[in-house]
Amino acid sequence: MTESIINLDNVNPIEFFGVNNGKLDLLKKKFPLLKILSRGTQIKLSGAPEEVATAREKIGQIVSYLERNGHLSENYFEQILGDEEGTGIDHFKDRNPNEVLVFGPNGRTVRAKTANQKKMVALADKNDIVFAIGPAGTGKTYTAVALAVRALKNKAVRKIILTRPAVEAGESLGFLPGDLKEKIDPYLRPLYDALDDMIPADKLSYFMTNRIIEIAPLAYMRGRTLDNAFILLDEAQNSTDLQMKMFLTRIGANAKAIITGDLTQIDLPKNQKSGLGKATRILKNIEGIGYLELDEEDVVRHRLVKAIIRAYDANKEDHN
């Protein structure tokens, strides 16, 4: 039996233990063989030496993160505890400030959080076109938007163009009330939400007004040549083969594009095939085009999303 006391003097105990000790309960669940007690700004571990050592290491990673960032969500807390091999998310003890993609409002930092998100950043640095495929919650859209904002802030491009197929409105949108912006906003809202995290409201308004950042449905890309731009096609599984070809051939000089999608969530009519699967298949080996698959290990939303994805995958296999 070994006992160890860890002081939390340099972090906010509420941030470590969580509201109503929610994070402490996750810690106890992760280490059921240990006796874990919290007293003020201290946490006491009692149990087998190897268990105590492992728990101390995880707690050290959490404390290191809190010292640098001040806040840690319950979901991310659990991700650190569950990262058995040290490959699923960042090595928190060795955080490099150069890994920050964007410094957002109120000191918020936006980073690639998982191993595959880091690969996505590396692929975007090396290739002009990147396909990032994966289920909901894996951060593919958020990371892509961060890469676009970084490129704009670094003056690597002159504009950002974010687009999605407006599948629910059949791409016509004409019957909806309001002007163009009011018609398309519901389908493009997730892109606005990501930008809100990364750019102060007044500057974002300026960028939007002056078309430095443009958000539009995929149908409005037809006939354009997009030079000096960082272009994101999101929800690409809902683009047809013709739309995908149209989008890819819009890319002009000094432009980068990231195409994200989830091939398990295609909303196209049954008589239409997704252009994303074909594009990744026939373009995969072309130099200058990167390809990445994210999975449930990259989920950075609520802790239950990972379990939900696994359950659906298992159900799909059962019915094959």
Residue 264 burial by Cβ neighbours in a 10 Å radius (0-12, 13-18, 19+):
middle
Domains of the chain: 2-82 (3.30.1370.10), 98-318 (3.40.50.300)
pLDDT digits (tens, 9 = 90+) for 186-211: 667 788 888 988 988 889 999 999 99
By DSSP bridging, strand 109-111 and strand 100-103 are: antiparallel
Is the pLDDT at 167 greater than 50? The verdict is: yes
DSSP character for 114? B
pLDDT band, residue 79 (cuts 50/70/90): confident
What is the amino acid identity at position 12? Answer: N
Nearest residue to 224 (alpha-carbon basis) of 214, 238, 237: 214
DSSP 251-275: B-TT-EEEEEE-TT---S-TT--BH
CA distance 178 to 172: 14
Q: What is the mean pLDDT of the chain?
A: 82
Average pLDDT over residues 143-149: 95
Q: What is the pTM of this model?
A: 0.65
pLDDT digits (tens, 9 = 90+) for 102-127: 877 766 778 888 889 999 999 999 99
